[in-house]
Every structure is written in structure tokens, then in C-alpha cells.
Structure 1
Amino acid sequence: MLSQATGQYIHFEQLGLDPVALDLGFFTLKWYSLAYIGGILLGWWYLLKLLARPGAPMGRQHADDLIFYATLGIILGGRLGYILFYRPDLFLKPLQVLKLWDGGMSFHGGAIGVMIAIIVLARKYGLNWLRVHDYVACAVPFGLFFGRLANFVNGELWGRATDVPWAVVFPRTGMDVPRHPSQLYEAGLEGIALFLVLAFFFWRTQARYQPGKLVGIFLLGYGASRFFVEYFREADEQLMWLQQATGLNMGQYLCMPMILGGAYLIATAKGRRQRVESIAGRESVA
């Protein structure tokens, strides 16, 4: 029924979007790559703003080093996570594993990669790794926002069939069916909404002095947002059987430990509060 009346919906081709941002013939730059670069740079800039407040868990030098560690964590963790969770068959095709420019990154894998990077950095400099996580978590929504916008520009990770007025017909699906622009739903919830929530708790409350609270809010907020949006998002074709068998898809299963872990960190954060001696600022905070 939907395929017979798609003229009233938005056709992706009419938007004039191109996955390639710059094509010089000998060099091609895609929006997908710019999304990662922009997310990392804006996240770093915002992190420096956070660290300028009293009681910061690390200094400018640590933040600069963290960009290198975190970037490796995002790329390696994101790619390996995608292959492990969604495309294990690619382990038998080593050359395909290296094709990052074709997409195929997992946020959950990238999150694990960044977590490992923070722990390594904290051990190297003797920092409180949980408080560093708190500050980094506040900057992550930048990357999530730009990443989801890039998914939309690429016409990938589309939503389920629907008849809502703002439905989009994506050509890469191979079917003339209007679908939820779930990439934009995620950009709004995981990017804008989550950023505002974290900003409120950082700037307007004492959450940054309770180790684990901000990263707990991030994990709970992201996990709940992603779990919800997955009801509007088409499951990966190779994992459709999981959704048909259980009613939930891989993304939702991966969000469950994030939701539980986030709730635990929030509930126990007050018990971890202690006198915070400033690393970057001038004041200590009881």
C-alpha cells in the first residue's frame, strides 16, 4: 500500500545530497570523514572549556594527548565492534576490514575503544579515570550528532516503512517505500538532547564532583535514546532473524548493559564524592 503512493513523501534524490563533500579527481573527501573530524575537533574544544572550571581532573596537556588516544579508540574500536557485532563474516576478508571509507562503524565498539584509551591515559599520568570519563562524556554528543547527519547524507541506516508525512524514500533500499528518517531521530536525541542534558548537569549542578555521575547520565541517556529509536530503524539485513525471533535487534541488546551500567553509576555517584584537588584549575572543591 505504501509503495503505491510514494509521490506524497520526500524522495531522497530531491534533497540534492551527495556523500562526497569534495572531489578533486585525485582526492575525494566524504561527509562521513568530515563528520568524524568535526566531532573530534568540536569535542576537544568543548572539553577544554569544561577543564577550565575549578576541580578539573586533568590539564590541557592531558586533553591534547587524549585526542590522539581517543581517535585511535574510536577508529579501531568502532570498526572492530561493527565487524564483531554486525558483520563477523568480514574477519575472513582482511582487505574489507580496512575499508573504513565505505562506512561500517559501531558506536558501541567505539565507546569501548575510547574507554580503554581513557584508562590507558589515566594510568600513564596517574589521573582519576572515572572523573576523566565524566568530562569526556559531556563532549561525545558532538560526534554523535555529526555522525548521524552523515548517515542521513549517505542514505544509509534508514528506518522502517511508515506513512508519516515526513517519511523519506531512500533509493539504496532497492524498494520504492517511504521510511522513517531514523538517522535524524538519533541526531536529535543522541546529539542535541543528550548534549543539553549533560550540559545542564555539568554547569548547573555539582555532578562533576561525584565521580561517575556524568558518564552514568550519558550511558543511560544514550542507551535509552538508541533503544527507543531502534523501534523506528530497519534492522541490519544479516541480523533480521534476531529481530524476528526476539522482537529486539542487535542495537537494543547492546544498549541494555549501557542502561543498567548508567543507572548504577548514577545511583552510586554520591558515595564516591571526595575532596577534589584541582589538576587544571586553582581551587580545590570539598
Structure 2
Amino acid sequence: MPPLLVLPFPAIDPVIVEFGPFALRWYALAYIVGIILAWRYMRALVLNHRLWGSIGRPSLVQLDDFVLWGTLGIIIGGRLGYVLFYNPAYYLANPMEAFAIWTGGMSFHGGFAGTVVAMLLFAWRRDLSVWTMFDLAGCAAPIGLFFGRIANFINSELWGRPSDVPWAVVFPNAGPDPRHPSQLYEAALEGIVLFLVLRLLSHRFKLLKKPGFLAGAFACGYGITRSISELFRVPDAHIGYLGGFFTMGILLSLPMILGGLAAMIWASSRNSAATAG
């Protein structure tokens, strides 16, 4: 039975403006806005002295310097993750295409790994607590995730499975079937909900005073929200379902959930022992 209501896909051009060979796309703008707002939020956290107690934190100048490191980690890691996890055979046959990031194809899990490497190197070079850097980045990351998922929706990519829910959308490049707007589900869960949870943990429970806890909460929270979203999203056509049920997104999220839980337990026990001592 067809749905009673189907939402038309908004006719939004993926290209905002063109100047000769240069084109500004919504996807690129989402990365720019997400990184800038995440950086500003990290600065606000550092300036809020009541959240930290005696815990050391980076200076504003050091945070400003980290923006370039983090941006490179996101872009290089995100692209490399997509090439290795989602379409290795194609890029093995067409190696130069791996550098064409403007054609699309970025992996959050790869970007996450790239950012972790960037933070490790930056903390080592500047003699900072890497766990505090992880915490700050974890609190701010949902901002970028929100804008990235909105850009996925505008690009009509990563759409959901066929559905008869009243808010189903007919995507222009996904056939005639109404589908879950899974990109918006991810924007809500990975972006808004996860941001509010981490905001509560950092401001209400002052968990920046336990270095590593909020980083673990982000990793675990992202893994859970991404896995939920994957239940409504069509897996990549060249990969399909793994084991008859799992998608690549779920499999890559499982280590994040387990690692996040381990980090939260470790941070709680470590800081509790330090307090007792």
C-alpha cells in the first residue's frame, strides 16, 4: 500500500556558486562551517574555568594552532578510510582517483582515525594532555557531524531504505520508491542528540575533570547512534550486507562502542584513584 503522504525532495543545487572552474559546494561549506563552529565551541569550553578544576588544558593560541592539524586529519583520514574500507578494488585499479576528493567519498571512521593521529602528534609536540585534547574534540565533533549529514541530504546521497512512513522522501537518484531520509536521522542522532548528551556530561556533571571520559562517551555514543541510523540506511551497493545483516558502518562502529566504554571505565577508575590518593 503506497504511503498517504510522500515528501518531495527539495530542489537544492549541490553547487552554491560557480566562478569559472571554481565551484563552491554545500558539502565543502558543511566542512568549513562545521570545523569553524567546532573550533569556537572548543575555545568556549577552555574559557569556562568552572568546568576544569585543577585539570590542565590547552591555551587559546594552542587551540588555534590545532585547527590546521585537525582539518588535515579529517580530510586525509576521511578520504583514506573511504578508499580502504568502502571501495578498495576500484581505487586499486584507479589509484589517481583516490586524490579526487571533490568527486565525493569520505568515511567518518577514517576521519576519526585521522583526527586521533593529528591530536596525538599535536599533543606530543606541544606537551599537552592527549586525553584532554580527545575530550575537547569529542565534545565539539557532533557539530561537524550535523552539518555533514545535512550536506549528504542536499546531495541526495546515502539515502535510506524504502519506507511507507508519512515523512518518506523520493530521492531523485534513488528510483521511484519513497525512502527514509536517513541522512536527517543521522543529523539528529549523531549531531543534535549526541551534542546535548556531551553538553550535559561536561557542564552538569563536570566530566572534563576526568580526562578521557568525554572522549569515550563520544566514541561510544557515536557508535550507538550510527548503528541505529544504519538500520534505516541503504548500505553501499558494492558492499551490501555483511553476514546477511551487518553493514560496514555497523562493523566499524562496534570497536568505537567497545573502546569508548573502556575509556569511560578507565577514566572513572583512574581519576577516582587519584582523588582517593
CA contact (8 A) 2:5 2:167 kept: no
Contact preservation (8 Å) 1:82, 1:105: yes
Give per-residue Cα distances to partners, 1:126-148, cap 9 Å, x unaligned. Answer: 11101110011111111100000
Identity %: 46
- Counterpart CA distance in 2 for 1:6 and 1:20 is 31
Match of 1:232 in 2: 232
Matched, 1:168 2:169: yes
With 139-148 and 261-270 compared, the bigger mean Cα shift is at 261-270
Contact kept in structure 1, 2:3 and 2:164, CA below 8 Å: no
Query: What is the rounded CA distance, in whole Å, between the counterparts of 1:274 and 1:113 in structure 2?
Result: 31
Distance 1:69 1:229 in 2: 29
What is residue 266 of structure 1 aligned with on the other side?
264
How far does residue 16 in structure 1 lie from its aligned partner after superposition?
Answer: 2.0
| 3-state SS, counterpart of residue 44 of structure 1 | helix
**Contact 1:81–1:110, Cα closer than 8 Å, also in 2:** yes
Structure 1 stretch displaced more, 18-27 or 185-194: 18-27
What CA distance in whole angstroms lies between the structure 1 residues aligned with 2:8 and 2:202? 41
Q: How does 1:1-286 map to 2 (within 5 A)?
A: 5=2, 8-12=5-9, 15-54=10-49, 55-89=55-89, 90-173=91-174, 175-242=175-242, 245-273=243-271
How far has the Cα of 1:62 moved from its partner? 1.4
User: 2: CA distance between counterparts of 1:153 and 1:146?
Assistant: 11
Post-superposition Cα deviations, 1:70-98, rounded to whole Å, max 9, x if no partner, equal: 10100000000011110102133123111
**Alpha carbon RMSD of aligned pairs, Å?**
1.9
Q: Contact 1:6–1:176 (CA<8 Å) still a contact in 2?
A: no
Q: 1:275 to 1:37 in 2, by over 3 A?
A: farther
Q: d(CA) in 1 for partners of 2:176 and 2:69?
A: 43
Structure 2 residue identity aligned to 1:252? I
Aligned with 1:130: secondary structure? helix
Aligned partners of 1:210 and 1:149: how far apart in 2?
A: 33
User: Displacement of 1:157 after TM fit?
Assistant: 0.2
Q: For structure 1, which segment, 37-46 or 259-268, has the greater mean C-alpha deviation from structure 2 after superposition? A: 259-268
Cα distance in 2 between the residues matched to 1:262 and 1:18: 38
Q: What is the one-letter code of the residue matched to 1:177?
A: D
Residue 53 of structure 1 deviates from its aligned partner by: 2.5
Q: Distance in 2 between matches of 1:41 and 1:10?
A: 32
Match of 2:52? Answer: none
| Aligned-residue offset at 1:44 | 0.5
Answer whether contact 1:182 1:232 (CA < 8 A) is retained: yes
- Say how many residue pairs are matched: 269
**Gaps in structure 2 of 5+ consecutive residues:** 50-54
Taking structure 2 as the reference length, the TM-score comes to 0.92
Q: Deviations over 1:137-194 (max 9, x none)?
A: 1111111000000000000000001100000111212x21111000000000000111
| Deviating 4+ runs (over 6 angstroms) | none
Stretch deviating more after TM superposition (115-124 or 52-61): 52-61
Q: Structure 1: which 5+ residue stretches go unaligned?
A: 277-285
Check the 8 A contact 2:235/2:241 in 1, yes or no.
Answer: no
Looking at structure 1, the residues matched to 74 and 59 of structure 2 have their Cα atoms a distance apart, in angstroms, of 22
Cα deviation, residue 241, structure 1: 4.7
CA distance in 2, matches of 1:195, 1:115: 19
